[in-house]
Amino acid sequence: MTSPDRRIDDATAASLTQNTEPWLSCDDCFALTDSCVDDLLAHRSAPSEAMRVHLAACPACREDVTSLLELVAAEHGVDPATVAPLLML
């Protein structure tokens, strides 16, 4: 069944075929979120490839991590703008 008011454009087609390997579940991503943020702030270490791929493909988890990074950075007097690029999103 098709709907006249919803369309697949090129960006949507790209999203539907986005590569989400290596696999990481939302639960595993959530479990890693806090250590990812602290490691990023303490050592400027980028997330693992699996985590980066997951964050690129999952808006909800991406919001969780980005927000946590912003909050914790501010709590420790770090400008979030200086560390957010390390998420490579």
Which one of residues 33, 47, 51, 55 is an interface residue with another protein (CB under 8 A)? 33
Binding of another protein by 70 (CB under 8 A): yes
Which one of residues 7, 43, 77, 85 is an interface residue with another protein (CB under 8 A)? 7
Binding of another protein by 2 (CB under 8 A): yes
Q: In whole angstroms, how far apart are CA 6 and each of 1, 3, 10, 12, 74?
A: 12, 6, 13, 11, 41
Nearer to another protein, 59 or 85 (CB): 59
The gap from C-alpha 8 to its chain's centroid, in whole angstroms, comes to 24
Q: Tell me which residues touch another protein (CB under 8 A).
A: 1-4, 6-10, 12-21, 23, 25-27, 30, 33-35, 37-38, 58-60, 63-64, 67-68, 70-72, 75
